[in-house]
Copies of this chain bind each other. A is one copy, B any other.
Amino acid sequence: MGKSVLIVNGPNLNMLGRREPEIYGKTTLQDIESLCAQHAGHKDWSIEFMQSNHEGAMIDALQAALGKHDGIIINAAAYTHTSVALMDAIKATNLPCIEVHLSNIFSREEFRHKSYISSVATGVICGFGAKGYTLAMDALADNFDTHK
């Protein structure tokens, strides 16, 4: 209870609802933020929800989590597959970190099967749309319970 969690969203996720609805559905990123806020309310958590198209801005946010948040949820979108720097930033925080993807990246193009983030994440949740974020929060809660 009283935990603080950072939720980081990567490039093009601000386009959700306007783009390729057959893959991502009609839910917008604002909808997801509301969903997370509501779910956080039930747990008595505070959340910081951010999105950026800039890899560097995401790294800045992750670094700032040190001493401020208790856990991280990250949907790095396209940077998932190319960014060693995000991987290093997550490792540097030393916080539990859940990797989330809206779609099942393993049933899409081959180059989306590789994730630099997976190897430093606590766990991975993908394929469940917006629901993946609240599942990640539940997983994080379980992690907090185990290590409290």
Contacts and interface: CB of A to CB of B under 8 A. Distances in A.
Interface in A4-52: 10-12, 14-15, 18-20, 52
A115 B124 contact: no
A131 B127 contact: no
DSSP majority for the A interface?
Answer: helix
A99 to B, nearest CB: 9
Interface residues of A, number: 56
B131 A142 contact: yes
B122 A127 contact: yes
Interface string A97-133: 0000000101100011001001111111111100110
Contact of A128 (B92, B123, B128): B123
